Amino acid sequence: MKALKMMLAAFAFVGATAQAATNQEIINHVSYNVILATYNDLAGATAKLKSAVDTLAANPNQANLDQAQAAWRAARIPWESSEAFLFGPVDSLGIDPLLDTWPLNKLDLDAVLASNRTITTDFVRALGTNLQGFHTIEYLLFGEGKTSNTKAVSAFTAKQFEYLKATSALLAEHTAYLAHSWSTNYDPENPSAPGYVTVISKPGFDNPFYSSDRAVMEEFIQGMMGIVDEVANGKMSDPMGADIGSANMALVESPFAWNSLNDFTNNVRSVYSIYTGHYRSSKGPGVKALVEKVNPALAAQVEQDILNCMQLIQAIRPANGGDFGQAIFTQDGRARTQAAIDALNALHTKLESEVLPTLDM
Amino acid sequence: MKAWIAILSLKLIMVEVALAAPQINMDYVRAIKTGGDTTVFFKGESVQAFRNPAANLSEDDIRRHLSGDALFERNFSDDTNRFEYGLGPVFNNTSCNACHSKDGRGALPVIPFNQEWVQLKQNEAVFLRISIEDGIQRPKNAQNKWGAPVPVPGFSDQLFHLGSMGVREDIPGSGQAQVWMKYEKSTFTYPDGEVVNLRKPLFKVTGAYDEYFDSVTGQTRSRLYENDVKMGARIGTPMIGLGLLEAIKESDILALAARDLSDEGVSGKPNYVIDIEKVLANNPYPVSMGRFGLKNNTPSVMHQSLGALRGDIGVTNYAFPDESIVGTILYDIFKNGRTLPMGVEAPREVADDIVFYSQTLAVPSRRNVDEAEVVRGAELFHQVSCTSCHQPSYVTGPHQIAAFSNQKIYPYTDMLLHDMGDGLADGRQDFDATGREWKTRPLWGIGQTQTINPRAGFLHDGRARTIEEAILWHGGEGEYSKNKFTRLPKADRTALIHFIKSL
């Protein structure tokens, strides 16, 4: 009986997707319930991070440090889960570098912290992008990251708290601006411009950026391909180097909190979200619905490949502690990294040579 | 004596090529393979349109291209402990990619509607060229640096608005000065009554490092604020097809310069500029024809790229081994008490891979070539004489990268300088280019510009938000064509723009 119910449910599900969402339905769902929802989550999470940092600075104890560190990790999730759609305002308004430039410029940060300057949000705003954003906060909250990712509360200086508060306030400001640009006004030079979600979800002749629904669908697929390539051939390959001797910890993203593998996994999770239309509890048609119309076997295989890549990335984690930055200095860690890179590159090839062409079938 | 021979032989070449007066080959109307065999094909619209290696490169070449690709995106740092060391001490940006967004055009900074001025910060795609301008055209000799712009004393010929920590103790993060921008708005009215809003960026400079208060005049002064200093904005330009432009035969360009287009008020001319390769080879007359830069002020992709690597980012290299502000007081102040690393910052292979990458980015194919509207627009393009300067096609000559040799290409540029009128003038001479002259921009790929960067702006300072605005800014030698364009019925103007967007 139970089995029958499940079978029926499975049929109903297949039926629903095979009913075939149109491009426009996919675009609508992905724009509102994946992309806009992610940016709203990001703005909320960075606001929480800011208040956790303020609490820590006002009352430096272990519990408050734990909470601030947890808030940083929580804010990383929506951001890294947005990297399959680095188009639109995050790019055109220059927001990405303000949030996520890495590596951090530790030399200059240490110089500022050692100086007598008063640290304000406007002071930090005027500095380079590699002196603000997620990784500056990460370094200040978690410490050096080489042999551990913990920092004692006693190690914080008053100056570090000032800097943390200023840069966390800026991070929350920039992400609120990003969410606003998607929900309400994408062009700050033009008060009557709508939110970008309205623009991207209504492609057509009068649309300034997308002349057809095909163009938006291609943007989605190219976005997926872009981050798959970036994780494999930038974020993982660059620090790994050709051999152990040329591995470079300074090129690892999120090395202080040991959050790299979670970052990479969430990057691929954003590919999953665009592909399936699943984000948090929201389920709707994604790019997969388009592929299904042409080749159901391919559609299912790509979903499986994406999940497999996420698993292979998590499998890089060293058994005896540490994260990606430690794994690339061991032979077996490098082998596991290479396996993930190979799987990502294979996924990229499949997206490019099999998924992209379904747009024109 | 040598210079005399050079002039004589140049004249002989000009006579020879004048005989083979180039015709406009109308095959451009339906030509799809814009970059010949180097062309890459896309079905739709994509942010990746400019990010691909030329289609006919060898496997070894692709590997080099990819290595250059990673460097092009690299954020350089002033931290000597870091792998990508070399940034600064003063600079305009921290990576190549930051000005050439996804290898395409840059955008002007965002000015929120309730704000007048905005300060140029990090990650803007625009910077100012500066020089002393007295209106005198100097002879081309070593003493006059072969006609190079005269740098502003205490500065150089480029204003670096960003600086490494420690360069400006008074304004951390700033370089030689702070730069601000606002818009001057205007309108253009077509003969049929349609109105188009135009905008032009205006710049002001504050906080110069040599600034002082003059109690006699009651003014804040700096060498930079004197009247003989001219400034001109430059925005990051597309990186596609540069190797192909390098492979266009010099004789073909000179033939275009030799045409008599006086009926249209057009008279394109080449620029002759310092050639760093000839300098490195100790050539006593290190001058070549310019092909790159908005005033054709560099002769090769190598010179242009490595000049930008040292200038825009402050990364010294074998072609430009000195920091950009060597010899100025700001550098002496910065040096004081610091141990600076010796030698150039970018290793030879890094520099060469960046050059190679810059040469080998592919031009995307034309789109919608069979649409009636596009075909009609293509013919109108010629009818209103856009083709006089935007020369549609060439067959390239030999190039050290075999893939670029003997290709039929459609770049839509004559590679020459033209007086573009007061509206676009920056008032700065640059070798043989006057303050009103600019190189004809290649139009290939232009239709994908705003797919890649929705805010990207056209023309040398990014002022034009649309292709239409860019056309309407054409003055001087462009006036004739612009007037013909503006007198077209609206439907024809639209068709012509459709054609340009198909490129």
Task: Write the DSSP string, A170-195.
Answer: HHHHHHHHHHHHHHT-S-TT-TT---
Could you give the 3-state DSSP secondary structure of residue A10?
Answer: helix
Residue B192: the pLDDT is 97
Longest Cα–Cα distance in chain B: 70
A321 close to B (CB below 8 A): no
Contact A111/B165, CB-based, under 8 Å? yes
Residue B487 confidence (pLDDT) = 98
Contact A130 B77 (CB under 8 A): yes
Cβ contact, residue pair B45, A250, below 8 Å: no
Tell me what pLDDT residue A19 has: 56
Contact (Cβ atoms closer than 8 angstroms) between residue B431 and residue B440: no
Provide the residue count of chain B.
503
Q: What is the C-alpha separation between B83 and B76, in angstroms, rounded?
A: 9
- State how far residue A123 is from chain B, nearest Cα, in angstroms: 8
- Looking at residue B282, what DSSP letter applies? T
Q: For residue A219, give the chain B residue with the closest CA.
A: B46
Strands B394-395, B118-119: parallel, antiparallel or unpaired by DSSP? Answer: unpaired
The residue of chain B with its CA nearest to that of A88 is B454
What is the Rg, in whole angstroms, of the alpha carbon atoms belonging to chain A?
22
CA B163 to chain A, closest CA, distance in angstroms equals 9
Mean pLDDT by 10 residues, chain A (361 residues): 39 47 96 98 98 98 98 98 96 93 87 90 88 96 92 96 98 98 95 96 87 92 95 94 92 96 98 97 96 96 98 97 96 98 98 94 87
A161: distance to nearest CA of chain B, Å? 20
User: Rounded CA gap, B244 and B291, in Å?
Assistant: 11
**What count of other Cβ atoms lies within 10 Å of the Cβ of residue A107?**
17
| Side-chain-side CA neighbours of residue B289 (13 Å) | 20
Angle at A110 between CA A104 and CA A113, to 5 degrees: 120
Which alpha helices (H) appear in B239-282, and where do they start and end?
242-247, 250-257, 276-280
CA A269 to chain centre: 8
Which of B56, B55, B37 minimizes the C-alpha distance to B407?
Answer: B37
The residue among B42, B47, B178 with the most chain A CBs within 10 A of its CB, best to mutate, is B47
Residue A186 has a pLDDT of 95
B99 touches chain A (CB under 8 A): no
Residue pair B299/B289 in contact by the 8 Å Cβ criterion: yes
Tokens of B48: 């990746």
Contact with chain B for residue A214, Cβ under 8 A: yes
Residue A109, exposed/middle/buried by CB under 10 A (0-12, 13-18, 19+)? buried
A120 interfacial to chain B (CB closer than 8 Å): no
Complete DSSP assignment for B292-350: BSTTS-BSSHHHHHHHHHHHTS----SSS-S-TTTTSHHHHHHHTT--PPPS-SS-HHH
Q: Which residues in chain B have Cβ-Cβ distances shorter than 8 Å to A221?
A: none
Separation of alpha carbons B123 and A175, rounded Å: 17
User: Inter-chain contact B44–A218, Cβ cutoff 8 Å?
Assistant: yes
CB–CB contact B122 A129 (8 Å): yes
Q: Is B450 on the interface with A (CB under 8 A)?
A: yes
Q: Tell me the C-alpha to C-alpha distance, in Å, between residue A357 and each of A86, A290, B6, B39, B44.
A: 22, 11, 56, 19, 11
CA distance A208 to chain B (A): 8
Give me the pLDDT at residue B463, please: 98
What is the enclosing helix (H) or strand (E) of B339?
none
Mutate: best of A130, A131, A144, A287, partner B, most B CBs <10 A: A130
- Among A85, A92, A118, A229, which would you mutate to test the B interface (most chain B Cβ atoms within 10 Å of its Cβ)? A92
Beta-carbon separation of B123 and A238 below 8 A:
no
Cβ atoms within 10 Å, residue B112 = 11
The pTM assigned to this predicted structure is 0.89
Q: Which helix (H) or strand (E) holds A91?
A: helix A89-92
Digitized pLDDT (tens) for each residue of chain B, 503 residues in all: 344 444 444 444 444 444 455 679 999 999 999 999 999 997 667 788 999 999 999 999 999 999 999 899 888 988 887 778 899 899 999 999 999 989 999 999 999 988 999 999 888 999 999 999 988 888 899 999 999 999 999 999 999 999 988 899 888 889 999 999 999 999 999 999 999 999 999 999 999 999 999 999 999 999 999 999 999 999 999 999 999 999 999 999 999 999 999 999 999 999 999 999 999 999 999 999 999 999 999 999 999 999 999 999 999 999 999 999 999 999 999 998 788 888 899 999 999 999 999 999 999 999 999 999 999 999 999 999 999 999 999 999 999 999 999 999 999 999 999 999 999 999 999 999 999 999 999 999 999 998 889 899 999 999 999 999 999 999 999 999 999 999 999 999 999 999 999 99
Q: Please name which of A271, A267, A265, A292 lies closest in space to residue A222, comparing C-alpha atoms.
A: A271
* pLDDT on residue B22: 65
Chain centre to alpha carbon of residue A180: 18
Q: Looking at beta carbons, which residues of chain A come within 8 Å of B48?
A: 222, 225-226
